[in-house]
Amino acid sequence: MIGAGPLKNAAQNLGFLQCGVSKATFLEEEAPRLERWLQQGNQGEMHYLENHFDKRLDPRLLVPGAQSVISLSFNYFPPTEKWSNGAFKIARYAYGEDYHLVLKEKLTQLVKELEPTYGTFEGRIFVDSAPVMEWQWAQKSGLGWQGKNTLLLSKQVGSYFFLAEIIGNWAIEPDGPTTDHCGTCTRCIDACPTQALSPYHLDASKCISYLTIELKDRIPDEFNGKSEGWVFGCDICQEVCPWNRFSQPHSEPLFASKESWEGVQWEEITEDVFQNLMKKSPIKRTKFEGFKRNVLWASKKST
C-alpha cells in the first residue's frame, strides 16, 4: 500500500480543494438508510436512483478490482455575485461552464500524472455520472461531514464545492472520517421555503433544486409562491449555513459568470437564444420548455 502524499500534492496542483482516500468496501451502514429513503419516496421522479442498488453500495461491483475510492472536492464559490437577472436566480454552481466536462478533464490529467508513482491505472473516474454515493465516500475519506441540509460540510471551506471520484486498482493508504460540527444549528431547516429538510434528511420531491431541474412535469401548485426567485437549482440552505463564512472565491476561469447572460430577459427568451446561451452550461439540462416553466413558476405569487 502506497502513501497518499503524491496523490494529494498532485490534486492540489490541479486546483482541487481537498482529496481523501477510502478503501473500496461495501458501505454497510448506508444500505438500510438508502433502502428506507427510497421506500419513503423521497427520490420523487428520480427513478434512476432506484437502479443499481448493489453497485451504489459496493464500488467493487461498479469497478471490478477496485482497491481505493479517491474523493476530491473542487471549489465553485464565485468571486463576486455580479450575475443577476431581476428577481430570478440560479444556483452558483451553474454560473460557468458545465462542471462535468471541466472536472473530468482535470481527473483524466490527474490519473495520467500519477501513473508513474502508483502504476498503470485500471478503473474509472466519476463526476456525478454513475451510481456512486458521493458525499458518503467523501465523508468516509475525511473531506467533511453530512450536514443537516444533507450536503457535505467542511470546517475549512464550507460547502460550495463539487465532488468527484477516482475508483480503481491503486492501493493507497486510506484516510479516516471527520466528526459532525452542526451542533444545535437548524438554520438550513428553518430557511427552506418548501420544507424539504429535516435534520440530516432531504425529501428531494420538495426541494427547489429537484423541482427546477429533475422534475419534468408541471410543478405542483402547492409550491406556488415558494420559489423565492430560483429558476435553476437553489442555494438557500448553503447561504444560511454558518460554515460557509469560510468559503473562498474560486480561481477557475471556466466557472466565471457568463457575460453573455447580462441583459437577457428570461420572461421573453426564445429557444434559439436559450440554445446559444446555454450550450456549455449545466442549465441546458432543463431544456428550453423546462426553463420557461421555471421562469413562469418563479413569477407566481402565493395562492
The beta-strand segments (E) located in 211-298 are 230-232
Tell me the sheet residues that pair with 163: 73
How many CB atoms sit inside 10 A of residue 256's CB?
A: 17
- CA-to-CA distance for 11 and 6, rounded, in angstroms? 9
d(CA 139, CA 142): 5
In the set 54, 58, 98, 128, the catalytic residue is 128
Residue 236: CA atoms inside 13 Å, Cβ hemisphere, count? 25
* Single-letter code of the amino acid located at 95: Y
8-state DSSP, 184: T
Q: Which residues make Cβ contacts (< 8 Å) with residue 205, sequence separation at least 6? A: 41, 42, 43, 44, 45, 196
Neighbouring C-beta atoms of residue 61, cutoff 10 Å? 14
Through-space distance between the first and last CA atoms of the chain, rounded to whole angstroms:
61
Is 248 in a helix, a strand, or coil?
A: coil
| φ and ψ at residue 46, rounded to 5 degrees | -80, 65
Asked about 128 being catalytic, the answer comes back as: yes
* 8 A C-beta contact, residue 234 and residue 151: no
Task: Kindly state the cell numbers that stand for 280.
Answer: 456549455
C-alpha cell at 284: 441546458
DSSP H or E run through 225: none
Whether 126 and 132 have beta carbons less than 8 Å apart is answered as: yes
Encoded amino acid at 19, one letter: C
Active site residues: 128
